[in-house]
C-alpha cells in the first residue's frame, strides 16, 4: 500500500498473501493493524515533512469545507486524525438531497471533478452512494449522503469504530492548536496580501 499505492485494504492483503505464501489465505491482519504499520512506515520515511504536509492538507481541507458550507461538510479520515501517509487523500462527507445542486455549486467554483457510484454494505444490505473526486493540490474525495443521514454515525472500515466527523470550526481549532506557528505565518501572510 505504501510503495505501490494500493488503496483498498482487502486488495493489499490478497496481493501480499499471494506474494508471500503463493496463495490467498483467510488468516490476514486486520485493517487496523495494517493502518498502524502504514503510519509507522510513513513517519519513518517522511519524518522531515510529515507535519508540514499535514498542515497543508488540513489547510486545503479548511478552504474546501468553507466553499462547501451549504452542504454541511465534515472532515474524516487520516487528515483529521493526523495519521497521513504517502498517497493519503482528504476525505470529506457532504450532505445533499439533490446531486445536481452540488454539481452546479462545484461548476460555479470552477473546480474540476469526476463522480462515481460506490456500493457499501449497510445493515447487511448494499447501498449506493456518490463519491466526487476533486482535482486539487492533494486528492480530495467527497462522499455524498442524503441530508437526513447527517446524524447517522458510520463505522470506520479501518478499525470498526464510529467515524469522527470534524466540522469547519472544529478543524480551525485543531489547526490553531496543533500547528500554531504555521497557522500564525499563514494568517500573517494572508493579511499582507489582503
Provide the residue range defining the domain that includes 31. Answer: 9-45
Residue 187 binned pLDDT confidence (cut-offs 50, 70, 90): confident
pLDDT digit string, tens, across residues 106-161: 999 999 999 999 888 777 888 899 999 999 999 999 999 999 999 988 877 667 78
Q: Residue 19 falls within a domain, yes or no?
A: yes
Q: 60-78, pLDDT tens digit by residue?
A: 999 999 999 999 999 999 9
Examine the domain organization and report whether 73 and 33 are in the same domain.
Answer: no
Calpha distance 122→44 (Å, rounded)? 36
Tell me, yes or no, whether 76 and 172 share the same domain: yes
pTM: 0.78
Say yes or no: 87 and 30 in one domain: no
What CATH code is carried by the domain that includes residue 98? 3.30.460
Domain-located, residue 2: no
Residue 63 lies in a domain: yes
Give a yes or no: residue 3 inside a domain.
no
In a domain, 137, yes or no: yes
Asked if residue 13 and residue 66 are part of one domain, the reply reads: no
83 contacts 35 by C-beta, under 8 angstroms:
yes
Q: 183 and 136 share a domain?
A: yes
**Distance, CA of 122 to CA of 118 (rounded, Å):** 12
Domain match, 75 and 129 both: yes
Q: Is position 101 within any domain? A: yes
Residue 123 lies in a domain: yes
Q: What pLDDT, on a 0 to 100 scale, did the predictor assign at position 184?
A: 92
Residues 113 and 60 in one domain: yes
Amino acid at each position: 500500500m505504501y510503495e505501490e499505492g494500493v488503496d483498498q485494504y482487502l486488495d493489499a492483503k490478497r496481493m501480499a498473501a499471494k506474494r508471500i505464501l503463493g496463495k490467498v489465505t483467510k488468516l490476514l491482519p486486520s485493517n487496523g493493524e495494517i493502518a498502524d504499520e502504514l503510519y509507522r512506515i510513513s513517519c519513518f520515511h517522511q519524518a522531515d515533512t510529515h507535519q508540514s504536509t499535514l498542515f497543508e492538507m488540513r489547510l486545503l481541507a479548511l478552504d474546501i469545507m468553507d466553499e462547501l458550507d451549504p452542504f454541511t461538510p465534515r472532515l474524516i479520515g487520516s487528515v483529521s486524525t493526523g495519521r497521513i501517509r504517502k498517497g493519503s487523500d482528504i476525505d470529506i462527507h457532504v450532505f445533499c438531497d439533490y446531486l445536481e445542486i452540488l454539481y452546479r455549486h462545484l461548476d460555479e467554483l470552477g473546480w474540476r471533478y469526476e463522480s462515481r457510484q460506490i456500493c457499501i454494505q449497510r445493515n447487511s444490505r448494499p447501498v449506493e452512494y456518490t463519491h466526487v473526486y476533486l482535482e486539487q493540490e492533494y486528492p480530495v474525495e467527497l462522499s455524498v449522503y442524503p441530508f437526513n443521514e447527517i446524524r447517522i454515525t458510520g463505522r470506520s472500515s479501518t478499525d470498526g469504530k464510529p467515524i469522527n466527523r470534524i466540522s469547519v470550526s472544529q478543524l480551525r481549532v485543531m489547526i490553531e492548536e496543533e500547528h500554531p506557528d504555521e497557522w500564525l505565518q499563514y494568517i500573517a501572510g494572508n493579511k499582507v496580501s489582503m
